[in-house]
Amino acid sequence: MKAILLLVFIAFINNSYGQSLLNSVRGLYSDAAVQEDSAKKMFRMLQRITETDDAVLLAYKGAVTMVQAKYTFNPITKFLCFKRGKNLVEKAISRDSADIEIRYLRFTLQSNLPGFLGYSSQLKTDKDFLVSRCPLITDAVLRGMVINFLLSSEYCNSEDVKKLQHAGGSSISR
């Protein structure tokens, strides 16, 4: 009985730590694209995440690995950061392609990367997926992140905007 209680307690602690880490990483993600310190902090936080860990955290690790390329000058290092990050994001997608947050991360990356990298083939698919599933996002912070990014992107048409405004309430506008 004590062993079962110990296992339940450890699972609870791990879940609490994972949720805390996820909330911290979410807070840093948008800043990481414009502030090197935020990118470095986020990268350090996710350093121990492996391919067997939570798929969402793996996707964030891939995303911040790609963002690191922005803060390096060596073109080879930039490309290696991109390639490593892309592999991590795609592994997360293959593990859970229905996860809204993982698809959101890939959409943010693909919509901001230079076209010559050839990593933009899922833009429309991910945009359509996100627009259709925004009303299903129960986490208000995540829903706001997704809707605000979609509305600020150049990929949403007027019908998408109406759906997103309806999903996010009247306070979110383009």
Write the pLDDT tens digit of every residue in 94-108.
999 999 999 999 999
| CB atoms near residue 130 (< 10 Å) | 25
What is the reported pLDDT for 5? 38
Position 167 in a domain: no
Nearest partner of 68 among 41, 48, 50, 92, judged by Cα? 41
Q: What is the DSSP string of the chain?
A: -HHHHHHHHHHHHHHHHHHHHHHHHHHHHHHHTT-HHHHHHHHHHHTT--TTS-HHHHHHHHHHHHHHGGG---HHHHHHHHHHHHHHHHHHHHH-TT-HHHHHHHHHHHHHS-GGG---TTHHHHHHHHHHHGGG---HHHHHHHHHHHHHSS---HHHHHHHHHHH-TT---
Query: Looking at the domain assignment, is residue 172 inside a domain?
Result: no
Domain span at residue 35 reads 2-96
In a domain, 119, yes or no: no
Dmax (CA) of the chain: 59
Judge whether 115 lies within some domain: no
> Does any domain span residue 144?
no
pLDDT in tens, 41-90: 999 999 999 999 999 999 999 999 999 999 999 999 999 999 999 999 99
Nearest C-alpha neighbor of 130 from the set 90, 163, 92:
163
**Residue 134 pLDDT > 50:** yes
| Rounded average pLDDT over 142-154 | 93
Please state the pTM of the whole predicted model.
0.85
Six-digit token string for 125: 């698919």
**Confidence band, pLDDT 50/70/90 cuts, at residue 10:** very low
In a domain, 153, yes or no: no
Q: What percent of the chain has pLDDT over 90?
A: 80
> How many domains does one find in the chain?
1
Q: Is residue 151 part of a domain?
A: no
Contacts of 31 (CB under 8 A, 6+ apart): 38
Q: Does residue 76 sit within a domain?
A: yes
